[in-house]
């Protein structure tokens, strides 16, 4: 029997809905969709087929998301005014 590991992620409500809607459209769970994507990428890593435009586009968006999250963590909390 294969072992499994959990992935826990915080995403925006919009991203959460989009993930579930996309998975539902194909009749699969979000976890199955993520696993299939990861396995597909792993099989193609290091090959020219891995240099897909969609992977590059997703990586660019992911870098932007990561940068926004880092900036939010660095920003001091807003002072509350009575």
pLDDT in tens, 13-42: 999 999 999 999 999 999 999 999 888 888
Higher pLDDT, 51 or 56: 56
Answer yes or no: is 68 within a domain: yes
CA distance 41 to 50: 7
Closest by CA to 35, choosing from 63, 7, 66, is 7
Residue 21: the pLDDT is 97
Answer yes or no: is 34 within a domain: yes
Higher pLDDT, 30 or 50: 30
Instruction: Answer yes or no: are the C-beta atoms of 21 and 11 closer than 8 Å.
Output: no
Task: Give residue for tokens 């870098």.
Answer: 63
Question: Number of C-alpha atoms within 13 angstroms, CB side, residue 25?
Answer: 6
Answer yes or no: is 51 within a domain: yes
Answer yes or no: is 79 within a domain: no
Residue 3 above 60 pLDDT? Answer: yes
Answer yes or no: is 36 within a domain: yes
Section 59-81 average pLDDT: 81
Answer yes or no: is 56 within a domain: yes
- Our count of domains for the chain comes to 1
């Amino acid at each position: 029997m294969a072992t499994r590991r959990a992935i826990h992620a915080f995403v925006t409500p919009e991203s959460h809905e989009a993930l579930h809607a996309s998975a539902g459209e194909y009749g699969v769970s979000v976890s199955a969709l993520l696993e299939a994507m990861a396995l597909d990428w792993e099989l193609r890593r290091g090959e020219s087929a891995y240099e897909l435009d969609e992977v590059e586009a997703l990586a660019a968006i992911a870098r932007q998301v990561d940068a926004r999250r880092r900036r939010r963590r660095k920003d001091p909390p807003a002072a509350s005014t009575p």
